[in-house]
């Protein structure tokens, strides 16, 4: 927000009494307020637009855009920035060259790891990034209170405090169970956000009819979980803008916009988000620019597509005096593109400085000054020995035809490829020395979650089907949303080796076989993120995936898949450090069947 | 803003677990979010919309709309509510039957009379009105510091305090001189509003080019002073929404909307306001409904015209979770109309209760509980005797052909009929017993301003041309913006009689002839407003205007005209209790010419 003296400087510059920092001459301005293309020359001071007709004003520097289109920088309206494996710095090189200059992030992962201090740690260098990083304060940390151990909590008081931060724009996505269940704490968070003049973001996955309406009565302002046009229209008519999502797995743009086009609906209350898009997908496809271009290709007029990526979002989040247009006083976040029908940012200016050109950042982003403790969040008391992963069959009811010794009938989490949901299955497993063991022949692996905050040494074990691993084990300290260590394996010694490696790295991904670690990717920041450059992290991850395939793994992205099995809120089953969760009934259940 | 328990009640009602307060069945919903007309039945609880498909939900009451169109209540985005001569209660009977359910008011007059306490007094019963009354906190009280005595001031600290009020939506109109003059106090008020997440309203009368752009750099978000489409487009392209105004004298709707139509511009950033519309004009024409119908008649599609009067305004003022649509959770402010092409509100619901039907309020508004002191704000020390209005010719340079005795050459404020601007003129006036006197033959009357806050007994005298009064005097304690007593007359004894009458009434309008008061209209609340019903005030004013005509007055609304002569900010001349103001040079000048 501009101070009085900064305002004075802008005024004087607009009047020609002080020089512009930059005269950006020769643009075809995509004016998202008027919906017109107009010739313009942009005057920039203190990173802000101070003139659209700057020719003739004194200027320190001049940049000739050569008649290119000038658009406002793009806005991602909902993104879990800390589940990308990259730091906000690392992400910059992927998104800024694509024209994304504002991320509205719900940093739920750092909050689960370290609460309010985790958010502060994540944001410590946010003002040195070449994009705006605003916060949708996580409304539910932990996600499933009483069913998981987390490193931190964000209660009502923390939410109230964070809502006062200037970089906090909203209360982050609140799931329907808290609203329809009339939970005071969560409704009080909504009310607190409204009291600050901020909105509360929705998460109305699958809701319809009276439940959807009742959810809207809770004060939630939007939804980013619509999967098709019917869901989108059902929300718009209630007065809920729609954040159209196109992430790595959730791809809702085409079904929604095809409906918008065939029905001739207004696009004013539509905007874009990625929610979760992996670095390699960003490299391959692009970011918000990909969505804008997809929208144009489907038939949305280019200016409307740009408005969805800019002004619509800024107005919804009440940021329209800061971003979302090249209006006077707004940040000079400017994309130049040769064409409007297919936007390819040739230059991206952030706060009036050239930040990226021809797909590359102009200069490296300075490393984040993360506090030391944020790279030391992993403390494991159990799970470092093979014996810790023994699952005694005592208490299990052996059943079925007894073939070559004792067996146990167990529940199995059955994975769907490329989806974060799963279904319950079962298997008969051998019991060796009183311990139920994995059976790679059936593709049933042992799955464990190891508490990693040094709080209680919890360790729980159940089984999973779908990885295809023939030997070894893989593990991750990215384990939504509690981010304990999750590990799947054929061999208990390999599982323990993975956990030890993750403790040594203070977070990361690990692969072990034959009792030894054969691949690893350190994620020391909160146990979630690497400070290495994006290209390096992507390459390391690909190498790790390749090594997992050599152990028999049939999943394209096993470390992504394993990170979502632990979610106690996505059907049907989840595994936390407290046990196996029946998601629909919100209770813990036994790994054994009768 | 809804509390947690209220939210819970809405949720439960939407789910059918609590009864609706009202089921408003059988409407054709004008959905301003989708731009569609859709059959609907509105469920209402605690004054809020909780369902658009309420058929089948239990309900305490049912109202059958018989297939009428249902629209959100209309919003006046900028109005000086306390310069209507009526209290907010009195205004209700004029505006609510026309479908206006929200007034965004800059109560500059009460603030000039009594500062922050004046605003509190004005708003003391605001929660009992049948419409929403939100505040645009006056940014400049006094309007011309150092050139006028006011009863109160609204400094930076007061603005900061008022911005925290829940019913304060913005910083009120700030004029260009304060911004282009780089005045810290005023820019700090803008910054304070932004810091509260609120906007700052503009007032960019006549600005263009670099001055307009520099003004926008001051952080002003909109303009309601555009007189034509060119001015409107010049602002929109800079990212400044336009409040299209149609008041009693300023009539900007047709020129702006004709341009919008011929250029095919988007109406998304346009909304409506009246600024100053007199009660008799509201009775004759209507209010915001008049603007909506004019827009439709010009060719704006009806739903767009309705959006301008509702959603566009609500979004701009960040009130879209409260008003501006019939979306879920919003106030159930509903207009029913048989037709959409010509909206005539048959029923108006406010907060879910039937407030007006067929042009009439359903029940009288309870009288405002104004504090006693607010009806005792007039304290006059000088101006009650004829001799107080003597203007000694000493110091005046008599000049010109001396006919029948001494004369003086004086400046004269020359009025334009029906406009608030004026031009400087001059006259040669007789000097009788050393005192320059009025000359009704030339239509040059003595004009005085009498300080009325008991602060300094200031009294200043000059001359005015244009009233046509042949004898007597007229006076008003409504005298923009300082609201001292302004009096014009042929006869000094009549001028004094008017002032005495106004003191006795503790504010109001007075007409005197032959040394006696022959007509008066008491305005005791702040010396500005009458608590009498609108019809009575309108009738009294018409009677007073008629009596003035009998004294020779040629102006249709002389009490309105006289109330604006005192403005020290509208060219060319203004008269305050400190002297004659050269508005463009912002200095005091002598009433005498060389």
Which residues between 435 and 494 in chain B have a beta carbon less than 8 angstroms from any beta carbon of chain A? none
pLDDT of amino acid A404: 65
Interior angle at CA A172, CA A166 and CA A173, nearest 5: 165
Least Cα distance to A567 among A553, A546, A556, A582 occurs for A582
The residue-averaged pLDDT of B464-481 equals: 97
Judge whether B230 is closer than 8 Å to chain A, CB to CB. Answer: no
Which residues between 239 and 268 in chain A have a beta carbon less than 8 angstroms from any beta carbon of chain B? 239-240, 265-266, 268
CB contact under 8 A, A219 and B7: yes
Contact (CB, 8 A) for B378 and B507: yes
Distance between CA B310 and CA B32 in Å, rounded? 8
Distance between CA A502 and CA A507 in Å, rounded? 5
Least Cα distance to B552 among B497, B499, B506, B489 occurs for B489
Contact (CB, 8 A) for A82 and A118: no
Contacts of B6 (CB under 8 A, 6+ apart): B46
Q: Where would I find the H helices in A218-348? A: 229-236, 253-263, 279-285, 288-298, 302-309, 311-316
Strand, helix or coil for residue B80: coil
Judge whether B182 is closer than 8 Å to chain A, CB to CB. Answer: yes
pTM of the predicted structure, to 2 decimals: 0.95
- Across the beta sheet with B573-576, what order do the strands follow? B573-576, B579-582, B587-589
Judge whether A14 is closer than 8 Å to chain B, CB to CB. Answer: yes
For residue A293, the tally of other CB atoms under 10 A from its CB is 18
pLDDT of amino acid B396: 52
Distance between CA B593 and CA A34 in Å, rounded? 51
Contact (CB, 8 A) for A337 and A346: yes
CB contact under 8 A, B191 and A4: yes
The strand pair at A132-137 and A168-174 is best described as parallel
Determine phi and psi for A302, rounding to 5 degrees.
Answer: -50, -40
Structure tokens at A308: 């969805």
Span B223-259, pLDDT tens digits? 999 999 999 999 999 999 999 999 998 899 999 999 9
Judge whether A325 is closer than 8 Å to chain B, CB to CB. Answer: yes
pLDDT of amino acid A403: 54
Q: Which residues on chain B are in Cβ contact (under 8 Å) with A48? A: 217
With tokens 């906090």, the residue in question is A168
Residue to substitute from B8, B189, B191, B214, interface A, most A β-carbons within 10 A: B214
pLDDT at B427 over 70: yes
Distance between CA B319 and CA B331 in Å, rounded? 11
DSSP state of A233: H
List the single residue in B218, B318, B328 with the smallest CB-CB distance to A238: B328
Distance between CA B448 and CA B548 in Å, rounded? 18
CB contact under 8 A, B187 and A330: no
Least Cα distance to B498 among B483, B516, B482 occurs for B516
* H helix or E strand, kind and range, residue B447: strand B444-450
- This complex has an ipTM of 0.94
pLDDT of amino acid B314: 98
List the single residue in B3, B13, B34 with the smallest CB-CB distance to A237: B34
Q: Which residues pair with A336 in a beta bridge?
A: A70, A347
The Cα diameter of chain B in Å comes to 92
Residue to substitute from B37, B163, B165, B213, interface A, most A β-carbons within 10 A: B213
CB contact under 8 A, A233 and B34: yes
CB pairs under 8 A between A and B: 190
Distance between CA A386 and CA A494 in Å, rounded? 8
**Could you write out the DSSP letters of every residue in B469-516?**
--S-EEEES--TTT--EEEEES-HHHHHHHHHHHHHHTSEEEEEETTE
Contact (CB, 8 A) for B202 and B173: yes
Strand, helix or coil for residue A261: helix
User: In whole angstroms, how large is the CA radius of gyration of chain A?
Assistant: 25
The Cα diameter of chain A in Å comes to 92
pLDDT at B412 over 60: yes
Span B95-132, pLDDT tens digits? 999 999 999 999 999 999 999 999 999 999 999 999 99
Strand, helix or coil for residue B577: coil
Q: Which residues on chain A are in Cβ contact (under 8 Å) with B326? A: 239
pLDDT of amino acid B352: 98
Span B332-391, pLDDT tens digits? 999 999 999 999 999 999 999 999 999 999 999 999 999 999 999 999 999 999 999 999
Distance between CA A215 and CA A212 in Å, rounded? 5
Our CA-based measurement puts residue A540 at a distance from the nearest CA of chain B, in whole angstroms, of 44
Structure tokens at B399: 């000049």
List the single residue in A217, A326, A329 with the smallest CB-CB distance to B50: A217
User: In whole angstroms, how large is the CA radius of gyration of chain B?
Assistant: 25
Q: Which residues on chain A are in Cβ contact (under 8 Å) with B34? A: 233, 236-237, 265-266
Contact (CB, 8 A) for A546 and A536: no
DSSP state of A206: T
pLDDT of amino acid B421: 87
pLDDT of amino acid A571: 87
List the single residue in B4, B194, B327 with the smallest CB-CB distance to A187: B4
- Give the residue ranges of chain A where pLDDT is below 50: none
Strand, helix or coil for residue B545: helix
Structure tokens at A303: 């200016």
Least Cα distance to A359 among A306, A309, A281, A289 occurs for A289
**Could you write out the DSSP letters of every residue in A354-397?**
EEEETTEESSPPPPP---GGGG---B-SSSSSGGGG--B-TT--
Contact (CB, 8 A) for A493 and A386: yes
pLDDT of amino acid B397: 55
pLDDT at B44 over 60: yes
Distance between CA B545 and CA B560 in Å, rounded? 10
For residue B444, the Cα-to-chain-centroid distance in whole angstroms is 30
Contacts of B592 (CB under 8 A, 6+ apart): B395, B396, B397, B408, B409, B410, B411
Least Cα distance to A329 among A16, A47, A527 occurs for A47
Q: Which residues on chain A are in Cβ contact (under 8 Å) with B196? A: 197
Q: Find the residue in A nearest to B51 (Cα).
A: A213
pLDDT of amino acid B401: 54
Residue to substitute from B1, B3, B5, B11, interface A, most A β-carbons within 10 A: B11
The residue-averaged pLDDT of B13-24 equals: 98
Strand, helix or coil for residue A496: helix
Span B479-494, pLDDT tens digits? 999 999 999 999 999 9
* H helix or E strand, kind and range, residue A94: helix A88-95
Q: Which residues on chain B are in Cβ contact (under 8 Å) with A187? A: 4, 7-8
Distance between CA A427 and CA B242 in Å, rounded? 68
3-state DSSP percent of chain A in helix, strand and coil, to 5: 30, 30, 40
Judge whether A46 is closer than 8 Å to chain B, CB to CB. Answer: no
Taking the CA of residue B436 as centre, how many other CA atoms within 13 Å lie in the half-sphere pointing to its CB? 27
Contact (CB, 8 A) for A486 and A560: no
Q: Percent of chain B beyond pLDDT 70?
A: 98
Judge whether B177 is closer than 8 Å to chain A, CB to CB. Answer: no
Q: Which residues pair with B24 in a beta bridge?
A: B42, B63
The C-alpha torsion from B385 through B386 and B389 to B393, rounded to 10°, is -130
**Could you write out the DSSP letters of every residue in B128-197?**
GSSSEEEEEE-S-BSSSTTS---S--B-HHHHHHHHTSTTEEEEEEE-HHHHHTT-HHHHHHHHHHHHTT
Contact (CB, 8 A) for B460 and B589: no
Q: Residue B400: which pLDDT band, with cuts at 50, 70 and 90?
A: low
Q: Residue B571: which pLDDT band, with cuts at 50, 70 and 90?
A: confident
């Amino acid at each position: 927000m501009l101070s009085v003296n900064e305002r004075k400087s802008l005024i004087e510059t607009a009047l020609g009494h002080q020089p512009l920092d930059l005269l950006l001459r020769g643009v075809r301005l995509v004016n998202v307020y008027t919906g017109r293309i107009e010739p313009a020359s942009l005057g920039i001071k203190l990173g802000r637009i101070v003139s659209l007709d700057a020719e003739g004003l004194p200027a320190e520097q001049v940049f000739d855009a050569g008649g290119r289109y000038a658009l406002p920088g793009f806005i991602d309206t909902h993104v879990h920035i800390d589940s990308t494996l990259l730091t906000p710095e690392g992400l910059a090189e992927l998104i800024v060259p694509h024209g994304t200059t504002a991320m509205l992030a719900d940093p739920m992962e750092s909050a689960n790891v370290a609460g309010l201090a985790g958010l502060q740690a994540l944001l410590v260098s946010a003002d040195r990034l070449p994009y705006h990083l605003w916060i949708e304060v996580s409304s539910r940390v932990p996600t499933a209170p009483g069913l998981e151990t987390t490193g931190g909590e964000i209660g009502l008081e923390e939410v109230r405090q964070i809502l006062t931060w200037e970089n906090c724009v909203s209360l982050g996505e609140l799931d329907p169970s808290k609203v329809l269940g009339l939970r005071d704490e969560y409704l009080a968070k909504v009310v607190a956000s409204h009291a600050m003049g901020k909105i509360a973001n929705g998460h109305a996955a699958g809701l319809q009819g009276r439940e959807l309406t009742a959810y809207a009565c809770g004060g939630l302002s939007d939804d980013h979980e619509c999967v098709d046009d019917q869901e989108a229209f059902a929300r718009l008519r209630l007065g809920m803008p729609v954040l159209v999502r196109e992430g790595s797995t959730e791809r809702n743009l085409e079904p929604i916009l095809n409906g918008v086009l065939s029905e001739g609906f207004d696009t004013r209350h539509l905007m874009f988000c990625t929610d979760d898009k992996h670095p390699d997908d960003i490299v391959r496809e692009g970011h918000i620019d990909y969505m804008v271009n997809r929208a144009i290709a489907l038939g949305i007029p280019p200016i409307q597509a740009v408005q969805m990526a800019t002004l619509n979002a800024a107005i919804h989040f009440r940021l329209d005096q800061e971003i979302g247009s090249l209006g006077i006083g707004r940040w000079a976040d400017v994309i130049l593109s040769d064409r409007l029908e297919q936007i390819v940012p040739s230059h991206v200016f952030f706060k009036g400085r050239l930040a990226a050109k021809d797909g590359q950042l102009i200069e490296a982003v300075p490393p984040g000054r993360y506090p030391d403790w944020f790279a030391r969040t992993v403390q494991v008391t159990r799970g470092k020995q093979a014996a810790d992963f023994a699952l005694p069959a005592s208490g299990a009811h052996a059943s079925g035809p007894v073939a070559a010794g004792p067996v146990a009938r167990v529940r199995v989490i059955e994975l769907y490829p490329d989806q974060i949901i799963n279904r319950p299955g079962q298997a008969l497993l051998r019991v060796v020395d009183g311990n139920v063991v994995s059976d790679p022949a059936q593709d049933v692996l042992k799955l464990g979650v190891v508490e990693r905050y040094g709080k209680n040494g919890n360790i729980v074990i159940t089984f999973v089907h779908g990885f295809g691993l023939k030997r070894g084990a893989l593990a991750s300290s990215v384990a939504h949303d509690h981010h304990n260590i999750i590990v799947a394996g054929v061999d208990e010694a390999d599982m323990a080796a993975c956990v030890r490696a993750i403790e040594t790295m203070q977070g990361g991904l690990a692969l072990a076989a034959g009792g030894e670690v054969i691949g690893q990717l350190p994620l020391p920041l909160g146990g979630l993120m690497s400070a290495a450059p994006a290209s390096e992290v992507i390459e390391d991850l690909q190498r790790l995936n390749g090594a997992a395939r050599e152990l028999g793994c049939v999943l394209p992205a096993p470390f992504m898949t394993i990170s979502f099995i632990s979610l106690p809120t996505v059907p049907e089953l989840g595994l936390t450090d407290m046990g196996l969760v029946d998601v629909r009934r919100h209770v813990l259940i036994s790994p054994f069947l009768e």
